[in-house]
Structure 1
Amino acid sequence: MNQANKFFERQRYEPISNERAPILIAWHLQTPENAGHLLRLAANVGCRLVLFVKNEEEAIFKTAKMKYVAGQAARQIDWKYCLPQEVESMIPSDYLFVALETSLGSLNLYNVKLPEKMALMLGSERSGIPADVKYTGQQNIHIPMYGMVKSMNVSHAAGVCLFEWVRQHAQNI
């Protein structure tokens, strides 16, 4: 048994109920490694679903590489590929879309109350979330960058946002 498993054997954190657990939506990711990291992160937080949005002409990831990076999380988290036009129908109607994007009008992550039922959208490593992706009630947020580098890896950005969601909603878990 490794050190983390020993530690968490003594620390009990109640799982998030599936009815309110976050959903992660990754638009047009380019690398299976990032997809694997997102699956692992989703399993750490207790997400109910991860969607990898791809157009019909986009290549599906080499699943072996993605699963290698994700480890056992690939078997423990519900994940699917879907087409852009299918996304909205796969999200429960009481969830709100949150776009984590550096765009004009986006709000500082640390100054907003994240929705209790959140469908967190992340964009591709190169171009972000497509500009035409807009859902009713969508909230656009960004992570403030105080250093010289003004971008983060997609899985790191997702980690910051998902654990901020956990921090805000931990008293309800």
Structure 2
Amino acid sequence: MKEFKSEKRLNKIVTTLKQRQFDLMVVLENIHDPHNVSAIFRTCDAVGIPKVSLVYTIEKFPKIGKKSSASAFKWVEREKYKSIESCYDELRKNGFKIYASSINNDSKNIYEIDLAEKVAIVLGNEHRGVSEQAARLADERIVIPMFGMVQSLNVSVAAAIILYEACRQRIVKGKYNNSHISESELERLIEQWCSK
């Protein structure tokens, strides 16, 4: 399939795959608005996140259009879970530390934690936030510092702030300079992406 792509397009695919951060994940729990989901997927693609976990136990799974996601759904894989426990179990089995975004007195400031290690960021519903269970079962709860009267941000804005802090830390540590996967896996993904 590679032979059917222009050199410029093939180079873009290869470069993007080499910079994918396979040790950075996002979990979306019951996020209702498809525009918020789309915006988060665009940010995930922009910072190099290869896969998003979707946990829908209350809300219906949102319908996402290609236009609103700006085709990010094409480049960011998604996996669905029916419970937060099964999602967390899979993440822990793969060595991820889990950080749930939650406004609590014991939540850690995002600028004081290491987001360059193998981490999953959990974001919750627009009105309820992450579930009590998602917060309790996480390794840590994290918060974006805010200094105004209103103590909340749109979930897609919060996602962008947290993920770009992760991106900044990873740039400093040179994590975008080298591929995180084997040559054979890289070749497999290049072929897969060339057929999209």
SS of structure 2 residue aligned to 1:102: coil
- The amino acid across from 1:82 in the alignment is Y
Output one character per residue of 1:89-143: Cα deviation in whole Å (capped at 9) or x when no partner: 432531100111111200111222235111100010010111122336x111101
The aligned residue for residue 152 of structure 1 is 153
**Bigger radius of gyration:** 2
Residue 39 (str. 1) matches residue 38 (str. 2) = no
Separation in structure 1 between the aligned mates of residue 68 and residue 154 of structure 2, nearest angstrom: 15
Deviation at 1:33, TM superposition (A): 0.7
Deviation at 1:83, TM superposition (A): 1.0
Number of residue-to-residue matches in the alignment: 157
Separation in structure 2 between the aligned mates of residue 142 and residue 127 of structure 1, nearest angstrom: 15
Percent identical: 25
The aligned residue for residue 180 of structure 2 is none
Aligned 1:39-118 pairs, distance under 5 A: 39-55=41-57, 58-64=59-65, 67-84=66-83, 85-91=85-91, 92-114=93-115, 116-118=117-119
Residue 16 (str. 1) matches residue 16 (str. 2) = no
Deviation at 1:49, TM superposition (A): 1.1
SS of structure 1 residue aligned to 2:169: helix
Unaligned residue ranges in structure 2 (runs of 5+): 1-11, 176-196
Cα contact 2:31–2:59 (8 A) shared by 1: no
Cα contact 1:36–1:68 (8 A) shared by 2: no
Cα contact 2:53–2:79 (8 A) shared by 1: yes
SS of structure 2 residue aligned to 1:63: coil
Separation in structure 2 between the aligned mates of residue 46 and residue 59 of structure 1, nearest angstrom: 27
Distance 1:58 1:143, change over 3 A: closer
Distance 1:172 1:99, change over 3 A: same
Separation in structure 2 between the aligned mates of residue 40 and residue 161 of structure 1, nearest angstrom: 14
Cα contact 2:32–2:60 (8 A) shared by 1: no
- The amino acid across from 1:102 in the alignment is I
* Greater RCO (Cα-Cα under 8 Å, separation 6 or more): 2
Separation in structure 2 between the aligned mates of residue 68 and residue 80 of structure 1, nearest angstrom: 21
Between structures 1 and 2, the one with greater helix share: 2
TM-score between both structures, scaled by the size of structure 1: 0.81
Deviation at 1:156, TM superposition (A): 0.8
TM-score between both structures, scaled by the size of structure 2: 0.72
Separation in structure 2 between the aligned mates of residue 49 and residue 114 of structure 1, nearest angstrom: 16
